[in-house]
Structure 1
């Protein structure tokens, strides 16, 4: 590294050398970033997602938080789903 910083000609030569190596790898930046997000997303806490990224967690089906999202002025009825599934609400 000291050789590259010795004079501007060496620095430009080293930068050109590095750019020739890195340029073909740039097409892998988006897939590598997507794989990184795919692997790291489950490890992030709900607080981090809400405070840093502004993404609020969705309420789980059948929870009290989801019940708060229902409009009281509407009429709902239970719809029977497949065997083993919980019934869902429809307007």
Structure 2
């Protein structure tokens, strides 16, 4: 059940963003040059998922019920972004 998706290494070869699925929720790891953030959200706390697609890569935005700010993870392939959204919605709205 622990599925993992990593962002493309073309734009950020050393520190790609990641999405990790577990039994109870999903972990989002967003990495930058001098900082990183790791957010765990229970499936039941996810209010929505949006994908913003560019020519080559997609950005995934997660809206969690208990947070004001969206969780943003970047540089995923369009196919991976769609799969991440599909898995989150499937598990969050059972």
Same fold, TM exceeding 0.5?
A: no
Structure with higher RCO (Cα < 8 A, 6+ apart): 2
Into which bin does the TM-score normalised by the smaller protein fall? under 0.3
Structure (1 or 2) with the greater strand fraction: 2
Q: Which has the larger radius of gyration?
A: 1
TM-score, L = length of structure 2: 0.19
Taking structure 1 as the reference length, the TM-score comes to 0.19
